[in-house]
Amino acid sequence: MTGDHGDSGVRVRFAPSPTGSLHIGSVRTALYNYLYARRHGGTLVLRIEDTDLKRSAVTHDRGILESLAWLGLQADEGPDVGGPYGPYRQSERASIYEAAVQKLLANGHAYPCFCPQELLDRKKEEQLARGEMPKYDRTCYRLSPDEVEARLARGEKAAIRFRVPEGEVTFDDLIHGPITFSSEVIGDFIIKRTDGGYSYNFAVVVDDAEMAITHVIRGEDHITNTARQLMLFAALGRPAPCYAHHSLILAPDGSKLSKRHGATSIAEFKAIGYLPAAIVNYLALISWHPQDEREKFSLAELTEEFEIERLSRSPAVFDIHKLNWLNGLYIRELPTEELSRLIAPYLAGAGIALQPVQREVVAQAIQANLVVLSDAPRYAELFVKDFVLEDCAAATALHSPHVPGVLQLARRHFAAMPEEFLLPAAAREVLHGLTEEAKAKGLKGKALYLPVRVALTGRDEGPELFYLIGGLGKRKILERLDAGLAYAVRSGECA
């Protein structure tokens, strides 16, 4: 029953509901639509399905637009950019839906239903008790036109039901292949509620038809909706789009991915410090297998490679470790200036204040350690956080007899630093000078660097020494070396 759109051009749509933050699974759907549109030179439409007025919120609406923009998945048409098929919010399209309802009523494909919900619930229970598939028994379809008119004239509220035709509905899914539904398991369903609202399946069909959507790419949880929607397209006399239903994202335990498994919304991932390029890259790889063995793709590269027919039908398991690995790769490729800008809010939130030159040095120093941007305070704190050597396990490295001489030598070189803070290149020169003189005195390697590191940080591992020299600042370096020297002397006296 899917239609042939000929050379009209590919038009796909992403249609989220603003009832919550944009879920990572929904973003995967948006990405597949984006890639398919770009690959085929088509159009991506963003449609906000906000007919659930009780749960929809402007903040969620805005959050969806902001999240998609942050990810780089800009739509060609939508509520924020306009287009020839607007409006692009369902709440603004009531007159379009009503015209379609009247058309179905006029051609006999729909009819008013006066049955109260209590009666419907009781009939459903009775059908289940008899082991039957629950569906509407068409009580109101059998009403005469005069009775319907009289009841409406008395002000009785009525829903509008679609009359399901007999037979089978078959469509060729781009991922799953041919799928067939029997109309016997589908009862006449409501397209307009008694409160005047329009059902999801009905509004979606009207929108897809009016917006000339050629391909619908969505999660496989919508497969059962497709039969109803294809019937509506036929009844409205409109060509149906092609369908592709991709697998859902599951948690590692096989259950539906939810908050109990960690972050699930794009807003949460952004707050933690994941980069948009890493998220897009990772989501593309869930269920999709590129032709080569690469795992790192830019959005442009994904567009060139993506083929929807190569999406796996198997459920996709969300692997946070794989996402973390990719995010770390992208962080390590960031220019220093950009990384410094990105980690600034996290450092400020942790009360870590850095000077301009210091920020650049610290960014370079911790870059290789970051998995997410919110890790930054944990690694950057050693540049600003004071410590007491007696409380540091690594302080045992200062107990050797040669340590006071090493620290005195280091102090002399660092006291001659030309600036309070040094960029890595200048700090390397200072460290080189110390290394050469220490070598002449028979000190090298761990015997030199470990005491200096422990005195400066209280730790026996961390960033390269030249980063510490450049980022700590001359005043703090000298203060810590003096404290380390005093500790080393005391340790030697106790020994």
| Cβ atoms 98, 51 nearer than 8 A | no
Rounded to whole angstroms, the Cα distance separating 138 from 188 reads 7
Instruction: Say if residue 167 is exposed, middle or buried (CB neighbours under 10 Å; 0-12, 13-18, 19+).
Output: exposed
Task: Count CA atoms within 13 Å of residue 404 on its CB side.
Answer: 9
**What's the distance, CA 459 to chain centroid?**
36
Residue type, 451: P
* Whether the bond into 87 is cis, omega within 30 of 0: yes
C-beta atoms surrounding 486 within 10 Å? 13
Question: Which tokens go with 328?
Answer: 């770390």
* Euclidean distance between CA atoms 388 and 102, whole angstroms: 80
Terminal CA-CA length for the chain: 89
Cβ–Cβ under 8 Å, residues 340 and 363: yes
Residue indicated by tokens 């398919």: 36
Tell whether the torsion through CA atoms of 287, 292, 296 and 299 is positive or negative. Answer: negative
- Report the sign of the C-alpha dihedral through residues 315, 319, 325, 331, in that order: positive
Supply the DSSP symbol for 73. Answer: -
Greatest Cα pair distance, the chain, in angstroms, is 111
Q: Which amino acid is at 335?
A: P
Q: Is 386 helix (H, G, I), strand (E, B) or coil?
A: coil
Q: In angstroms, rounded to a whole number, what is the distance separating the alpha carbons of residues 428 and 330?
A: 26
**Catalytic residue selected from 157, 259, 441, 476:** 259
Residue 82: DSSP 8-state:
B
439 given a catalytic annotation: no
**How long a stretch of residues is the chain?**
495
Catalytic residues: 259
